[in-house]
Structure 1
Amino acid sequence: MALLTLFLSYPAFVCLLCTLIFLVSYFSTSSGKSAFKLPPGPKPLPIIGNLHLLDIKRQDKSLMKFAKEYGPVYTLHFGFQKAVVLTGYEAVRDALVNFTEEFVDRPPIPIFEEIQHGNGVFFSTGELWRTTRRFTMASMRNLGMGKKFLEDQIIEELCFLIRSIKAFEGKPFGLRTFNTAPTNITFAILFGERFDYKDPVFLTLLRLIDEVMCLLGSPLLHLFNFYPFLGFFFNVHKTLLQKVEEVRIIIRDYIKASKQDIHANGLKSYTDALVFKQQEDASKKENLFHDDNLIASILDLVMAGTETTATTLQWAVLLMMKYPSIQEKVQEEIEHVVDPGSWASYEDRKKLPYTNAVIHEIQRFITLLPHVPRCTSVDTHFRGYFIPKGTTVIPSLTSVLLDPSHWETPYEFNPGHFLDAEGKFVKKEAFMPYSLGRRNCMGESLAKMELFLFFAGLLQTFSFQPPPGIAASAIDLTVPKTTFTLRPQPQLTCAVSRE
């Protein structure tokens, strides 16, 4: 009793004791022999966990390295947080397809908690996520996603893009020029109108999306996510929140306009559909379509719906510069199938196996989005291990797209991965750049259509070459720029008209 009284009279000592108890319990469950039977993994250090073993800029490559020692399912410590990592096609597919409900949630990532506060379609969970995602998918279909109407819009946007490229008259220009067209398609769906490429609002949104994506890849932002209680030491997350708020201001303006005009003009956009649903559910006791969720949902699609396809198109042009023989073969195939003066249609992909294979190989090779974390929604037994509810789970898409047991030359750009001996296109199960399960990419069908039509149309019109003085062999693909996605390093290209 006297000892207990002594402890209670010295708060600092009590705090130290609690810390020791925490560390003991922490390490008792950190190894492969833990009481909870978590997967094995490298021994963590106090406070930093396994961060000293990670390449923060290329976490995806670090995750693959650990798998060689600990197997396809292992535990990793990001500071104080434990995460179960899944690598390779078999483990990732098993989790996302056969345990789709168990691995359906998102973990509370500090920066996205600050941005979205649990709203939207990307990082929300529970009934809010299910209802918002279901509504978003239905709205996208109603707005033409995957239909001929949208194909016509993409072809129209392709013409605007080609016109802007021709203005360079074969002189060098930046790869980011290709962002305008796919971004405009997304904006037309979200806001009901396309933008002129010189429109101030359009240019502002392009700039803000770029700045936000770059900040999301910052090592300092990763540190904030690992140690949010040390946020007062960092400014990067504050800068990011300011940029996001600038995007929100534009979104609020569109929501306000929609509320005023919706009954006169009908539903022409995703924003209109959200506003109509909000008004329709106004009498419900719990209306999930409140303003915060509307803004968050549009914000998710502004960011995710533009960055991925636009960046893939940049990579596509860069790879054609790097491999001119592949570019020429694509052009020859298109010329044999598509009538002169016509654009390749989405249906033509079935008659263009080599072109289709090149597009798929681009997506596989660039491993654009290495992983997006999941979270166990219930206590889960998976592959002989027990993963408690609320545990962060990282399905490594990079490890699937580079899995040597499914790809003959995983680290080489090889369209033959998607062709059989007769040159026919072959689907591959390990091709999953859009992820799998109930959290797969909602815009997959739109992205596929955009990539095919833009890529084919651009190669019908231009041959892409490095700037004068730079050999194709000198183009370096090995060090991508780490943002929210893996972007190509800023580079120039020359578009030589094929007319």
Structure 2
Amino acid sequence: MVSIKRLISLFSVSWEQTLICLGSLVITLFILLVIRQLVKQRRPRGFPPGPTPLPIIGNILSLKCLAGEWINDEYCYFIIQIFSLDLGGVSTVILNGYDAIKECLYHQSEVFADRPSLPLFQKMTKMGGIVHPNMKVLTLFIPPHILLNLYISEECLFFLDAIDQHQGKPFNPKHLVTNAVSNITNLIIFGQRFTYDDSDFQHMIEIFSENVELAASGWAFLYNAFPWMEYVPFGKHQKLFRNANEVYDFLLQIIKRFSQDRVPQSPQHYIDAYLDEMEQSATDKATSFSQDNLIFSVGELIIAGTETTTNCLRWAMLYITLYPRIQEKVQMEIDCILNGRPSALEDKQGMPYVEAVLHEVLRLCNVVPLGIFRATSQDAVVRGYTIPKGTMVITNLYSVHFDEKYWSNPSIFWPERFLGCNGKFVRHEAFLPFSIGKRHCLGEQLARLEMFLFFTTLLQRFHLQFPEGFIPSLSPKLGMTLQPRPYSICAIRRQQ
């Protein structure tokens, strides 16, 4: 009996010591990880200054300042031309104002053309997508302007007829605008448009839009800093991953559907051409053509071809409804030039006021306020500061369009700033909604054409007004893109 009690006593002591040792080990490891993270957060010699980072998470909470929401004494950093942020151990340089961005993206275009290697991007796309050699496949199926004009003009009729069904009663235009714009990209990718009541496609577009918002959340940046967060069962990053998996499965099925009747080497759309290239390079171990990359490419094309242009048009409709006098001037110019016929690409030159309005929408709304994230391909020197190779670089395009050196009263919606004394359209140097340099937006020309044709066709047929008593909000929803908050309008048939 005594020996048994003594054994239990020894076991208890041993167990307590084991727990103490394990606890000490966990605390020690935690302290070492914290020290390692703090060392990572130290700015390199000659690096641009910035706000003091918080331990571990750095300046992630300061990201919303880049969209003009200043936080106390941090304001001083967000009005200088170059500074740095620590995004959970990811050293990032922010370029503010037109002069600094032009110096880097235009004069040092090659140096600032890399894509940052972020864990979130790697997980979501495996670094695939349209940036790889399959870009040449896409160029085969970008129609000439004449055919694009036809695609968009035909979609405009579906768009107007769908609006007509509301018979002047209030409706939220987001759904219809998103469908109309995405169908132009769908014609290129699939060779076919989707009807506005296709619930599966609608659901996918909603998920895409949600992920664009989630990708700019604090959780996403925390994941970039701590990839092991993938195993944390809660947080917005998990919603992001669930959405991505759902979209992946949907795109896989839709790609299979549109490739069923494929004739090899006789491509009818982007998917056919990609599969041709994939088969030809099947024996090349270094090829980037694969089924996964096809799915990621299609997803990127749909997002790029839908999200930004949709939000631009929604902002344009919001502002043109908010300012009836400007809407009246736009419609007078449209009526004068078109005289009842459909709008076309060549009409842009004859509509300087319409062009001015659309440019002012792009300037003021800053749909992609931080542009495309970049990384330095080699060590760089900017304004006397040293930026090491591989540093992530964010171009604050929002700051360009509110740079008082180039824009008077930049917070005011004033299309006339794009008109000369003779009433002709005037280009502004510090107008960069599509960025500049080697990685500027590849879809710029398509986006401009879509905006012009949808906008002029809409206002040719309808007068837009808000429902009685409705007060719209001009405060955007923050994300990778800035989209207007939901609003309703009434589209009244015009008497021409």
TM-score, L = length of structure 1: 0.87
Distance, in Å, in 2 between the alignment partners of 1:251 and 1:402 is 39
Say whether residues 1:103 and 2:102 are aligned partners.
no
Once superposed, what is the RMSD of the aligned Cα atoms?
2.5
The Cα shift of 1:26 comes to: 4.3
2:47–2:386: 8 Å Cα contact kept in structure 1? yes
Aligned length: 467
What is aligned with 1:490?
A: 486
What is aligned with 1:120?
A: 129
C-alpha change, 1:63 and 1:445, in structure 2 (3 Å) is farther
2:404–2:410: 8 Å Cα contact kept in structure 1? yes
Distance, in Å, in 1 between the alignment partners of 2:55 and 2:217 is 24
Distance, in Å, in 2 between the alignment partners of 1:24 and 1:58 is 23
Say whether residues 1:190 and 2:186 are aligned partners.
no
Distance, in Å, in 2 between the alignment partners of 1:241 and 1:446 is 30
Q: Deviations over 1:316-347 (max 9, x none)?
A: 1110111111011000011111122x112111
C-alpha change, 1:457 and 1:444, in structure 2 (3 Å) is same
Q: Deviations over 1:83-103 (max 9, x none)?
A: 111000011111111111111
Aligned AA (1:363) = L
Distance, in Å, in 1 between the alignment partners of 2:464 and 2:443 is 28
**Whose radius of gyration is greater, 1 or 2?**
2
C-alpha change, 1:495 and 1:235, in structure 2 (3 Å) is same
Residues 3-402 of structure 1 aligned to structure 2 (within 5 Å): 15=29, 18=32, 22=36, 25-26=39-40, 29-30=42-43, 34=44, 36-52=45-61, 54=62, 56-57=63-64, 59-61=66-68, 66=75, 71-121=80-130, 129-136=131-138, 138-139=139-140, 142-144=141-143, 146-176=144-174, 177-231=176-230, 232=232, 234-263=234-263, 266-340=266-340, 342-371=341-370, 372-402=372-402
2:360–2:413: 8 Å Cα contact kept in structure 1? yes
The Cα shift of 1:188 comes to: 1.4
Q: Deviations over 1:443-494 (max 9, x none)?
A: 1111010000000000101111001223xxx4331x2112331111111000
Distance, in Å, in 2 between the alignment partners of 1:355 and 1:81 is 43
The farther-off stretch of 91-100 and 222-231 is: 222-231
Distance, in Å, in 2 between the alignment partners of 1:88 and 1:25 is 31
C-alpha change, 1:95 and 1:67, in structure 2 (3 Å) is farther
2:321–2:466: 8 Å Cα contact kept in structure 1? yes
The farther-off stretch of 40-49 and 446-455 is: 40-49
Q: Deviations over 1:236-293 (max 9, x none)?
A: 2222222222222232234334554321793222222211211222233422111121
C-alpha change, 1:214 and 1:39, in structure 2 (3 Å) is closer
Say whether residues 1:444 and 2:444 are aligned partners.
yes
* SS, match of residue 489 in structure 2: strand
C-alpha change, 1:312 and 1:153, in structure 2 (3 Å) is same
The farther-off stretch of 13-22 and 74-83 is: 13-22
Aligned AA (2:68) = K
TM-score, L = length of structure 2: 0.87
* SS, match of residue 106 in structure 2: helix
Q: Deviations over 1:201-222 (max 9, x none)?
A: 3323333223333433444444
Aligned AA (1:187) = N
Distance, in Å, in 1 between the alignment partners of 2:97 and 2:120 is 28
Unpaired segments of 5 or more residues in structure 1?
1-9, 122-128
* SS, match of residue 131 in structure 1: coil
1:179–1:313: 8 Å Cα contact kept in structure 2? no
The Cα shift of 1:152 comes to: 0.7
Q: Deviations over 1:296-332 (max 9, x none)?
A: 1111111222111111111111101111110110000
The Cα shift of 1:107 comes to: 1.7
Aligned AA (2:166) = F
1:67–1:74: 8 Å Cα contact kept in structure 2? no
Distance, in Å, in 1 between the alignment partners of 2:287 and 2:207 is 30
Unpaired segments of 5 or more residues in structure 2?
1-23
Aligned AA (2:369) = P
2:84–2:92: 8 Å Cα contact kept in structure 1? yes
The farther-off stretch of 63-72 and 181-190 is: 63-72
Aligned AA (2:142) = L
2:137–2:273: 8 Å Cα contact kept in structure 1? no
Distance, in Å, in 2 between the alignment partners of 1:297 and 1:24 is 37
2:476–2:482: 8 Å Cα contact kept in structure 1? yes
The Cα shift of 1:226 comes to: 4.4
Distance, in Å, in 2 between the alignment partners of 1:78 and 1:215 is 16
C-alpha change, 1:21 and 1:254, in structure 2 (3 Å) is closer
Distance, in Å, in 1 between the alignment partners of 2:204 and 2:28 is 52
